[in-house]
Amino acid sequence: MSNKYQMIDVRVTAVEQVTPLIKRFTLCALDGSALPAFTGGSHIIVQMHDGDKLYSNAYSLMSSPRDTASYQIGVRREEQSKGGSAFMHDKVEVGSQLTIAAPNNLFAIDPAAGRHVLIAGGIGITPFLSQLYELQEQGAEYELHYAFRAPEHGAFADELRDGPHGERTRFYIDSLQQGLDLAALIAGLEADAHLYVCGPKPLIDAVINTAKAQGIADTRVHWEQFAVAPAEGAAFTLVLARSGTEIRVEEGVSILQAIEKSNAAEIECLCREGVCGTCETAILEGQVDHRDQYLSDDEKALQKTLMVCVSRARTPRLVLDL
- Which residues are near ligand FES by CB under 6 A? 269-272, 274-279, 292, 294, 307, 309
Which C-beta is closer to ligand FES: that of 195 or that of 271? 271
CB of residue 143 vs ligand FES: minimum separation in angstroms? 32
**C-alpha span between 222 and 244 (Å, rounded):** 40
CB of residue 171 vs ligand FES: minimum separation in angstroms? 34
Structural contact between residues 66 and 46, judged by C-beta atoms closer than 8 angstroms: no
The DSSP output letter for 273 is S
Which C-beta is closer to ligand FES: that of 82 or that of 168? 82
Which C-beta is closer to ligand FES: that of 134 or that of 292? 292
Residue 91's SS3 state is helix
The full length of the chain comes to 322
Structural contact between residues 320 and 283, judged by C-beta atoms closer than 8 angstroms: yes
Which C-beta is closer to ligand FES: that of 92 or that of 276? 276
Which C-beta is closer to ligand FES: that of 199 or that of 277? 277
Residues linked to residue 312 through DSSP beta bridges, in sequence order:
289
Which C-beta is closer to ligand FES: that of 35 or that of 270? 270
**C-alpha span between 186 and 196 (Å, rounded):** 12
Residue 31's SS3 state is coil
**Residue 186: closest CA among 218, 166, 215, 165:** 215
Rg of the chain over CA atoms, in angstroms?
A: 20
Angle 205-202-39 from CA coordinates, rounded to 5°: 70
CB of residue 306 vs ligand FES: minimum separation in angstroms? 9
CB of residue 257 vs ligand FES: minimum separation in angstroms? 12
CB of residue 82 vs ligand FES: minimum separation in angstroms? 13
Structural contact between residues 226 and 43, judged by C-beta atoms closer than 8 angstroms: yes
What's the one-letter identity of residue 246? E
CB of residue 312 vs ligand FES: minimum separation in angstroms? 13
Structural contact between residues 127 and 197, judged by C-beta atoms closer than 8 angstroms: no
Which C-beta is closer to ligand FES: that of 229 or that of 275? 275
CB of residue 291 vs ligand FES: minimum separation in angstroms? 10
Query: What is the per-residue burial (b if ≥16 Cβ within 10 Å, else e) of 19-37?
Result: bebbbbbbbbbeeeeebbe
CB of residue 283 vs ligand FES: minimum separation in angstroms? 15
CB of residue 54 vs ligand FES: minimum separation in angstroms? 12
By DSSP bridging, strand 317-320 and strand 236-240 are parallel
Which C-beta is closer to ligand FES: that of 143 or that of 260? 260
Which C-beta is closer to ligand FES: that of 75 or that of 310? 310
Q: What is the DSSP string of 199-267?
A: SSHHHHHHHHHHHHHTT--GGGEEEE--SPPP--S--EEEEETTTTEEEEE-TT--HHHHHHHHT----
